[in-house]
Structure 1
Amino acid sequence: MDYTVLQIVVTAIGALLVGFSKTGMPTLGIFVAAMLASIFPARESVGLLTPILITGDIIAILYYRKTVVWKYLVVLLPWVLAGIVAGYFVLGEISNGQLSVLIGALVLVLIVLFLFQGRLEKAMNFSFSKSRAVNGSLGILAGFTTMIGNAAGSIMSVYLLSKGINKTTFVGTNAYFFFIINLIKVPFTVYLGLITPHSLTLNAWMIPVVAIGALAGFKVLPHIPQKLFQRIVLALAAIGAIYLILE
């Protein structure tokens, strides 16, 4: 089946936003996933978006390769893999509506916890950012949500913001994280028939579009103050979560 003009145009807009989000403003990915899911069947949109995300990841890690903080990724990856496996078995077994509400609610809870992190840690004498249980739970949740709907960006954003890192370290670490887990997802999505030669043809046409978006991100990020960056990331994460709930 050939793609319609509308599908190609929306995919191109999504690819542009993916490039920009990977190098400049994370958490936009959830909106791209929603855009593609609105014009493609839900499962097909997951397979179409994954190679586009990997393209953006590659561009981002090449540029931000010196800013990644590996210790924040190492503690997550085993749990992320567990979440991806869980998402693989759940995909198609539960309605998209139920999953969207669940993911959206969890993201909002995480945002609230982040906003009150200092007060809660002081009151409870407990460090959320250093807790293995908290980090493991976030890893499982990130893996699960990225497998079922490419919606882990908000979760990872809250996790990285809780570490108190600067914006370039945030973007670099975020890029490496998603590059790794998106590669891990590929065999699962291929086996499920979500990535096909037909979808890869459209993906190939989107490579220069992703690159243009990434270039825009490179130019914009240095001009965004750190505090404003954090506020924008949280605001986009919250908007994305509310969208998932209302969808």
Structure 2
Amino acid sequence: MAMTTLVLLGVAALLVGFAKTAIGGVASISVAIFALAMPTRESTAAILLLLLVGDAYAVWHYRRDADLALLRRLIPAVLPGLALGALFLAWVDDATLRRTIGVLLLVFAVVQLVLVWRSPDTSRISDSRFAALGTGLGSGFATMTANAAGPVMTLYLVSQGVEKRRFLGTGALFFLGVNLCKVPFSAGLGLFTAGTLWRTLALAPFVLLGARVGLHVARRLSQARFDQAVLAATVVSALALVVR
């Protein structure tokens, strides 16, 4: 593997850890880097294992902040979403999957931008059972096909008006559960290889380092500034996947 690719994967692993303890949207950049640096199918399994490392760290740190009531609304629709995503993975070719990842990231980023710019009244949406089921289904599908459920979950939590630590704790527990559910689906599709496991072991320290940095940043800097930068980076990375 070329040195440039190794450096890119190391940066992506740092961003995975950072996303899990600070700004979740940064993980979209990691998804794009992995999909560009590796065969797309293999990249979904490789980054899944790194996400689990970051999830475990984030859940431990924010374990007292998760809102279980919010999670209970989402869970019923997540598994059907994962199943639909697994069927899609089994059906499409590598190029189509890569472009699908790009389109998903781009769509979610645009939706977040509209939400930020227009600041609509989301109180009616936040209390809707349909919104919760739609979020669960969308998260399951997006995370299975593209490890890109972060923006979906972000939109839902933003509509709930949750404060920062509750936001991070709820998201951490949700994604740990979702990503663990993805493991048998990915294994059934034959996406885990010996190389993937060794790569995860090599990159795991970078995930933990990124998570530590994220903890400090989350305490000190404005969420709004990070949201703007993350959305811009997500759009760029999505376009790179779509036009590649």
Give the TM-score, by structure 2 length: 0.87
Q: Distance in 2 between matches of 1:117 and 1:132?
A: 21
Q: CA deviation at 1:28?
A: 0.9
1:143 to 140, 145, 149: 140
Q: CA deviation at 1:91?
A: 0.9
8 Å Cα contact 2:29/2:233 also seen in 1: no
Which stretch of structure 1 is more off in the superposition, 141-150 or 92-101? 92-101
Q: Distance in 1 between matches of 2:243 and 2:155?
A: 21
Structure 1 equivalent of residue 97 of structure 2:
96
8 Å Cα contact 1:82/1:143 also seen in 2: yes
Structure 2 equivalent of residue 208 of structure 1:
205
Q: CA deviation at 1:6?
A: 3.2
1:129 equivalenced with 2:130 (yes/no): no
Alignment identity in percent? 32
Q: CA deviation at 1:99?
A: 2.5
In structure 1, runs of 5+ residues without a counterpart are none
Q: Distance in 2 between matches of 1:197 and 1:77?
A: 32
Q: Distance in 2 between matches of 1:238 and 1:4?
A: 26
Q: CA 1:104–1:57 in 2, change beyond 3 Å: closer, same or farther?
A: closer
Q: CA 1:168–1:199 in 2, change beyond 3 Å: closer, same or farther?
A: same
2:64 to 55, 63, 66: 66
CA deviation digits over 1:185-209, x for unaligned, max 9?
0011111111122210110111211
**AA partner of residue 16 (structure 2):** V
Q: Distance in 2 between matches of 1:149 and 1:227?
A: 25
8 Å Cα contact 2:19/2:211 also seen in 1: yes
Q: Distance in 2 between matches of 1:211 and 1:98?
A: 29
8 Å Cα contact 2:23/2:227 also seen in 1: no
Q: Distance in 2 between matches of 1:209 and 1:101?
A: 24
Q: CA 1:12–1:228 in 2, change beyond 3 Å: closer, same or farther?
A: closer
How many residues in Structure 1 have an aligned counterpart in Structure 2? Answer: 240
Structure 2 equivalent of residue 156 of structure 1:
153
Give the TM-score, by structure 1 length: 0.86
Structure 2 equivalent of residue 33 of structure 1:
31
Q: CA deviation at 1:5?
A: 3.1
8 Å Cα contact 2:55/2:176 also seen in 1: yes
Structure 2 equivalent of residue 194 of structure 1:
191
Q: Distance in 2 between matches of 1:152 and 1:40?
A: 20
